[in-house]
Amino acid sequence: MQSSNNPVQAGPPSGGFTKPAVFTIAAILAGFAIELLTSGSGITVPGWPFNFYFLALLSITIAVVGLKFREQPLVSWLGGIPVGLSLIIGLAVLSLVGGVVPQDPAQPGSLASLLRLNGMFSSWPFAFVTLLFLFNLGLSFVWKTVPFRVANLQFILFHGGFWIALSCGLLGTSDLQRLVIPLYEGQESSVAYEMPSEKPVRVPYSIYLKEFVINEYVPQLALYDPADDKVIADKSNMLPEAKKGVKAEWSGIATVTVLDYLPSAILDDKGNPAPALHKKGVSVVKVRVVEDGKSYDEWISDGGPDVKPRFIPVGKYFLVMKAGPPKAFRSDVMIKGIDGERRTELLEVNKPVDFRGWKLYQMGYDEKAGRWSTMSLVEAVHDPWLPAVYCGFFMIMAGNLLYFWKGVKKMEAA
């Protein structure tokens, strides 16, 4: 391959790195100085409509400066690659601090707290670097957009998308509402709680919980060794599933065959099961144990809140049943708007429901009660800036696709 085909060629640099690096470091130090002076109070993004005004002002300033003063050395320096690169490194370094130091409340007076290292992404240094980066990114976007050329489309989509997603995502945080609504079966609620303050908030709708259901994975069988307090896997090195027909062998100890499995039943005093409704019963399994040439059939269970587990002694071990982890959990709800609109919905993890600008999520349940929980936690999220951020995401992806296509074409030509 000729050196002219090398996509990574040396050439005259478009400006030194020293000044941009000093500029970025100065911005970071100024941010930390403010944090020190304010004991790490951080920056609070103004809410609607002031965040929108700020965004509009920033956009107009960038457009005017970019178009009117393009030839000014300072402006071309501010929108150049060296400044952009220094700010990218600045963002990466600050993110690195935020990615190592726990972003939780720290001891007051500690260095992490005074410099707000424990709240890096709402700190002044992060805000300064991001703002300067948005300025740099915005200028380069304006220069590539005016005058418009199809050849610049990939640049415009990627840089414009990143600008929109970053600016709207960060400025929108003050308008983002994430509330938790505890619901109880057979009851209706319109009271949500801000987390972690647990401050109650009334939402403009109410939710009635008809039923909360958890589906679990099939339970497993295990041989428990009380002497060592450990579970012994079978010959296949796995915990066998309690499915009808499954055969498990613990070499030299016993062979167990699952004869029957009832996901919800009640065992009587003699250990015989009777089918029961989902929340009334427990999982039960009938097993045939062959031990030292003797064979016997028994029911075992992992128990529940009011039902003791039932297990079988096998030599010095116990054959026990281990409940399966939750496979899915969902709330059957009726959502009522303040104008009387009613909607029956099924809230499930990964399947949020939209209701008048709010997204409702199946968040959790009473984990102590497990599948017998009658309480469901629903998260209600209101994020008016989401469409703008998603617009940014899709622009990034479109620009990315073009970049891939152009990259492959260049690679083919190389």
Partner 1 sequence: MNLNEFPLIALAAIACWGLGSLLQIPARKSKAFQVSSWLLLLSGTSVLVVFLASYWIALERPPLRTLGETRLWYATLIPVVGFLVEYRWKIKWLKYYCLGLATFFLGINLAYPDVFEKALMPALQSVWFIPHVVVYLVAYVMLAASSVSGWHNVLLNFRSKRSTVSESMSHYLALLGFVLLTFGLVFGALWAKEAWGHYWTWDPKETWAFISWLAYLGYLHLVARKTDPRSLQWYLGLAFIVLLVCWFGVNYLPSAQNSVHTYSG
User: Interface with partner 1 by CB under 8 A: which residues?
Assistant: 1-3, 5-14, 81-82, 84-85, 88-89, 91-92, 95-96, 98-104, 121, 169, 176, 178, 217, 236-238, 324-329, 348-352, 359, 361, 363, 379, 381, 383, 386, 389, 393, 396-397, 400, 403-404, 407-408, 410-411, 414
Q: How many whole angstroms separate alpha carbon 1 and alpha carbon 414?
A: 8
Report the residue number, 278 or 406, with the smaller CB distance to partner 1.
406
- By three-state DSSP, how is residue 367 classified? coil
Report the residue number, 302 or 379, with the smaller CB distance to partner 1.
379
Q: DSSP string of 312-341?
A: EEETTEEEEEEPPPEEEEEEEEEEEETTS-
DSSP state of 293: T
Which among 304, 409, 7, 358 has a CA at the least distance from the CA of 180?
Answer: 358
CB 295 → partner 1: shortest distance, Å? Answer: 27
Report the residue number, 146 or 414, with the smaller CB distance to partner 1.
414
Q: How many whole angstroms separate alpha carbon 315 and alpha carbon 336?
A: 59
Q: Where are the beta strands (DSSP E) in 281-402?
A: 282-291, 294-301, 312-314, 317-322, 326-337, 342-348, 353-355, 358-365, 375-382
Residue type, 340: G
CA 384 to the chain's CA centroid: 19
Report the residue number, 267 or 283, with the smaller CB distance to partner 1.
283
Which among 380, 378, 367 has a CA at the least distance from the CA of 214?
Answer: 367
CB 179 → partner 1: shortest distance, Å? Answer: 10
CB 401 → partner 1: shortest distance, Å? Answer: 8
CB 316 → partner 1: shortest distance, Å? Answer: 25
Q: How many whole angstroms separate alpha carbon 222 and alpha carbon 237?
A: 11
Q: How many whole angstroms separate alpha carbon 211 and alpha carbon 346?
A: 10
CB 3 → partner 1: shortest distance, Å? Answer: 5
Report the residue number, 35 or 289, with the smaller CB distance to partner 1.
35
Report the residue number, 4 or 197, with the smaller CB distance to partner 1.
4
CB 237 → partner 1: shortest distance, Å? Answer: 6
Which among 281, 249, 277 has a CA at the least distance from the CA of 265?
Answer: 281
Which among 167, 26, 27, 159 has a CA at the least distance from the CA of 81?
Answer: 159
CB 202 → partner 1: shortest distance, Å? Answer: 20
Report the residue number, 334 or 398, with the smaller CB distance to partner 1.
398
Report the residue number, 103 or 264, with the smaller CB distance to partner 1.
103
CB 351 → partner 1: shortest distance, Å? Answer: 8
